[in-house]
């Protein structure tokens, strides 16, 4: 790639202020555990440059018309489609998604959310009257956007698109583990004609660039997606400047398979949903609750689902699951699989170590644990790998109580032969997004969490709302 050692600031590709070799980072292909590219790492001074550009651009861009912003988003979508294959291959190489999955799911979400934001903006009411008061929704200002490595195109578009739609200007820090898709996205916005300073990108680590963005007095809002631990750090750093902090954090999502569900279908689809993206999704259904009387059946079905999956390099034909992102993540998953065994859970499938025949790369065996109890580490801690915990329940009330007994509340899944039954249970779950009977992904649905899964919402009108301030003009009618 042409711009890997540069940043995109004020409409130009620029060199970092400090170009020393110490300020570069290898980009690792997790399928081989070897470096294939190198990026520049930014500093607080680079953040200052980017924020200054965004601040200069804000007055003019925030006053653009809705029609102008729709045209801009459409131009971005058109160029994104033109660069689609580039995005697919970058995502697959940098974070290990199998090529077919990168094409059908990972890169596709960028198209889906750009299309959704264009449609949302076309019908959104920025002004309304209430009891003689003008209620006006205006851009929050300069925004700092920090995105993770596990769904790069998804997370970038679900922050950049609503920020642009709202009239905000921004500085983006993609994950340093999967930065190439972010650089391609910056090239897309440049070709689409985004005005200088409206969108800026600085690569770097959280402890430097992320910290500088969170503390910066001229950034009005931080939008962060990542771990709960890192989200807490962003919020603390942002507190002194009383900026808005929008967070989409960790999850330990429950999948309730009710008595009246088709058990085989529910278990096998639920296991596959847990393992998709090598388990590296914050909303993955990693806790499966099954009726105790049918626990043995459920474990057999989950074992079948896990052992049917082919784990291999992202570029290999027929690969279902690629590697996890890094050695650090691989080691964490291996440790937690070991903890599950030590704490007395029954290993049904998978286990520690790489799959047979895979000596290099960060490959994890799809793992299923049975006889899991709510107090076990694997039932409480976000593993972020292809590890499924199956818990048995004696009553529906007990299942709901166990599902809600978590620090997290990002997503929930309910399987039932009766939609009315599923709806009733959904009302009792303390979680931000609930999928009934494995409903299809919907980019209009609000996405975000209860409890330590964060605050605020993304997607569609809900994501747009979070980049807006509310102004009341009293006496407007005279």
Q: Locate the domains of the chain by residue range.
A: 7-249+453-473, 254-443
pLDDT at 1: 72
- 214 touches 237 (CB < 8 A): yes
pLDDT at 348: 98
| Strand segments (E) across 319-378 | 346-349, 367-370
Residue that is written with structure tokens 């200069």 in the block: 56
| Strand segments (E) across 188-258 | 199-201, 221-225, 244-248, 254-257
Active site residue 248: yes
Cα(8)–Cα(158) distance, integer angstroms:
19
pLDDT beneath 50, residues of the chain: none
CATH class, domain 254-443, is alpha beta
pLDDT at 192: 98
pLDDT at 22: 73
pLDDT at 58: 99
CA dihedral (448, 449, 453, 455) positive or negative: positive
Cα(265)–Cα(85) distance, integer angstroms:
34
The H-or-E segment that residue 278 falls in is: none
pLDDT at 159: 98
The strand pair at 199-201 and 221-225 is best described as unpaired
Q: Which of 152, 174, 30, 179 is nearest to 96 (CA)?
A: 30
CATH superfamily of 7-249+453-473: Aldehyde Dehydrogenase; Chain A, domain 1 (3.40.605.10)
pLDDT at 116: 98
- One of 176, 248, 382, 458 is an active-site residue; which one? 248
Query: Is the full-model pTM beyond 0.75?
Result: yes
Active site residue 282: yes
DSSP state string for 139-183: E--EEEEE--SSSHHHHHHHHHHHHHHHT-EEEEE--TTS-HHHH
pLDDT at 200: 99
- One of 143, 176, 282, 382 is an active-site residue; which one? 282
């Amino acid at each position: 790639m042409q711009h890997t050692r540069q940043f995109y600031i004020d409409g130009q590709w620029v060199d970092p202020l400090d170009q020393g070799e110490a300020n570069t980072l290898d980009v690792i292909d997790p399928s081989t555990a070897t470096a294939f590219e190198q990026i520049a790492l930014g500093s607080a001074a680079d953040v200052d440059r980017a924020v200054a550009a965004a601040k200069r651009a804000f007055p003019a861009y925030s006053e653009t018309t809705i029609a102008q912003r729709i045209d801009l988003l459409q131009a971005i979508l058109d160029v994104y489609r033109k660069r689609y294959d580039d995005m697919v291959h970058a995502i697959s190489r940098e974070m290990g998604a199998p090529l077919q999955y990168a094409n059908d799911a990972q890169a596709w979400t960028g198209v889906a959310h750009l299309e959704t934001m264009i449609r949302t903006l076309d019908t959104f009411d920025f002004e309304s009257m209430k009891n003689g008061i003008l209620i006006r929704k205006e851009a929050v200002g300069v925004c700092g956007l920090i995105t993770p490595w596990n769904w790069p195109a998804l997370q970038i578009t679900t922050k950049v698109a609503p920020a642009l739609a709202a009239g905000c200007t921004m500085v983006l820090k993609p994950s340093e583990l999967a930065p190439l898709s972010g650089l391609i996205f910056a090239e897309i916005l440049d070709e689409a004609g985004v005005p200088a300073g409206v969108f800026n990108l600085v690569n770097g680590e959280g402890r430097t660039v992320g910290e500088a963005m969170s503390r910066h007095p001229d950034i009005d809002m931080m939008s962060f997606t990542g771990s709960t631990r890192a989200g807490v750090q962003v919020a603390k750093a942002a507190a002194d400047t009383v900026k808005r902090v929008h967070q989409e954090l960790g999850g330990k999502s429950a999948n309730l398979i009710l008595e009246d569900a088709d058990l085989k279908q529910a278990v096998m689809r639920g296991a596959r949903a847990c393992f998709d993206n090598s388990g590296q999704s914050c909303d993955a259904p990693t806790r499966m609750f099954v009726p105790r009387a049918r626990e043995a059946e459920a474990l057999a079905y989950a074992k079948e689902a896990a052992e049917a999956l082919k784990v291999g390099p992202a570029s290999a034909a027929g690969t279902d699951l690629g590697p996890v992102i890094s050695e650090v993540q691989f080691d964490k998953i291996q440790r937690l699989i070991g903890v599950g065994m030590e704490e007395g859970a029954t290993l049904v499938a998978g286990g520690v170590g790489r799959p047979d025949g895979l000596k290099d790369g960060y490959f994890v065996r799809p793992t299923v644990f049975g006889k899991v109890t709510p107090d076990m580490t694997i039932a409480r801690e976000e593993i972020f790998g292809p590890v499924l915990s199956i818990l048995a329940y004696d009553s529906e009330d007990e299942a709901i109580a166990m599902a809600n007994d978590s620090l997290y509340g990002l997503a929930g899944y309910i399987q039932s032969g009766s939609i009315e039954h599923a709806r009733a249970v959904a009302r009792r779950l303390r979680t931000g997004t609930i999928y009934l009977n494995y409903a299809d992904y919907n980019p209009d649905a609000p996405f975000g969490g209860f409890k330590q899964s964060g605050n605020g919402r993304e997607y569609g009108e809900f994501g747009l709302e979070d980049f807006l301030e509310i102004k009341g003009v009293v006496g407007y009618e005279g």
